[in-house]
Amino acid sequence: MRPRRSITGPLILILIGVAFLTHNLWQTLPLFQLIAQYWPFILIAWGVLRLLEVLFQVARSRPMPAGGLSGGEVALIILLCVIGTGMYAADRHGVRLAPFGTTGLEMFGEEFDYHHTNAKPVKGTVHVVFENLRGNVRINGTDDGEVKVEEHKMIRAYNKGDADKADEQTPLQIVQEGDRIIVRTNEEKVSHVQRISCDLEVSVPRHAAIEGRGNKGDYDVNDVAGGVDIASGNAAVRLTTIGGNVKVDLQHSEIVHAVDVKGDVVIEGRGADVELENVGGQVTVNGSYSGTLQFKNLAKPLHLESRNTDLRVEKLPGTITMDLGELNANNVVGPVHVVTKSKDIHIEDFTQSIDLETERGDIELKPGKVLLGKIDARSHAGNIELELPESAKFEVRATTSRGEAQNEYGSPLETRTEGQGGTVKGKVGDGPMLTITTDRGSVTVKK
């Protein structure tokens, strides 16, 4: 009896086919990130499959494959591990692959350009909705009482006749529906949506509220007194001088940048960089960002929640900069709360209480002139350094389970070595309790 050939090979082929098919059909699906994250489960599934095969053969008393795995399979597994690890590292460092399907299609044919203009006078408060699948939208608030749109449409086609037809099928419309004004480019009316892209240059009455929907294309909004709500598959969003609340929900983004916002800001989804400056309302960031996050001058609480980090600050007169490996803060008003997985934390000039926890990473704390609240900092593996102002009153207890306890503050603090670790302990006047703890690493208290 010849042993049956393994079914793993064909199954892998099917899996790859399904992956590319989903990618072509749902282009906004972050396939690269999904594979980078979940590829180890392919190994597990593969192993389970082979195990089941062996058990199946045993049950039927058939001869078994001698080595379990063939040489070709081992090579393939090693290749998968190398590629998977590479993709994971690349994903963590913010590398994004362009969707294969779209770039492939865009290489064929010739590009034809069309320009259209449309305008509609409006009265009272207005809510303007943009429905533009592909293309950049730039919106400016003006004193004119109308919504005016200049459209630059790019169509890829094999000949001008096809392009003209596609242009006719996708008219630029400004429609009033209830209290909303909808600007529509109708790109979805043609079969090859990927071949049409519309850039819009828009002016709206300054008091308008903006709502943007799209698959791919940047949004620039300037000088608008209403709220801004943008949801897109892939967009860079830049907002300046916004009077109302801002909500941005993106599946991919190079950057979300907002300056001078009077209302609340909510940012959700995935992306690279986030930059917020001069925000009057609450700021909530919830999602996964691989680049640098920068916050500057926030008048109300900031709450940031990502896969590895939870950060809460009551008010931010200064700055917070955060990337994958580091969190730097300067001039913050607490209570400050940070829980993170692997980051070095450096916080300077803060008031009120502070509560920090990191799995892997060093912590450096430099409070402002007056200590007003308690400090609680914990690292599982990393050095912690606490630099206290000259005149401060406090009670400190710095402990390490494995590492050196250094007292550079001098008396009246005392250092004690316990087993592999040590403690710096003491009291200066009547002040808040400062507790710093590390499982592995040094603790240092200094002036």
Give the footprint of other proteins on this chain (CB under 8 A). 37-51, 54, 57-58, 61, 64-69, 73-74, 77, 81, 84-85, 88, 341, 359-360
The nearest distance, CB 36 to other proteins, in angstroms, is 9
C-beta closer to other proteins: residue 47 or 301: 47
C-beta closer to other proteins: residue 68 or 410: 68
C-beta closer to other proteins: residue 9 or 121: 9
Angle, nearest 10°, between helix axes 31-38 and 40-59?
60
The nearest distance, CB 22 to other proteins, in angstroms, is 21
What is the CB-side half-sphere exposure of residue 240 using CA atoms within 13 A? Answer: 6
The nearest distance, CB 338 to other proteins, in angstroms, is 16
By the 10 Å C-beta count (0-12 exposed, 13-18 middle, 19+ buried), 307 is classed as exposed
Residues near 158 by beta carbon (within 8 Å), at least 6 away in sequence? 108, 109, 110
C-beta closer to other proteins: residue 162 or 344: 344
The nearest distance, CB 272 to other proteins, in angstroms, is 20
* Alpha-carbon torsion angle 14, 16, 21, 22, nearest 10: 110
By the 10 Å C-beta count (0-12 exposed, 13-18 middle, 19+ buried), 438 is classed as buried
C-beta closer to other proteins: residue 13 or 74: 74
The nearest distance, CB 8 to other proteins, in angstroms, is 10
C-beta closer to other proteins: residue 74 or 175: 74
φ and ψ at residue 249, rounded to 5 degrees: -130, 110
Structure tokens at 136: 């950049």
The nearest distance, CB 23 to other proteins, in angstroms, is 21
- The CA distances from residue 185 to 112, 156, 172, in Å, are 16, 16, 5
Structure tokens at 426: 């003491």
Q: Say how far residue 153 (Cα) sits from the centre of its chain.
A: 30
The nearest distance, CB 373 to other proteins, in angstroms, is 29
Query: How far is 350 from 446, CA to CA, in rounded Å?
Result: 17
Q: Which of 3, 14, 23, 88 is nearest to 45 (CA)?
A: 14
Query: How far is 148 from 134, CA to CA, in rounded Å?
Result: 19
The nearest distance, CB 60 to other proteins, in angstroms, is 11
C-beta closer to other proteins: residue 65 or 335: 65
- Whether 255 contacts 275, CB under 8 Å: yes
C-beta closer to other proteins: residue 89 or 119: 89
- Whether 350 contacts 367, CB under 8 Å: yes
Query: Residue 121, preceding bond cis, omega within 30 degrees?
Result: no
The nearest distance, CB 35 to other proteins, in angstroms, is 12
C-beta closer to other proteins: residue 38 or 158: 38
C-beta closer to other proteins: residue 44 or 107: 44
Name the DSSP class of 315: B
The nearest distance, CB 363 to other proteins, in angstroms, is 17
Pairing of strands 326-333, 316-322: antiparallel
Residues near 43 by beta carbon (within 8 Å), at least 6 away in sequence? 77, 80, 81
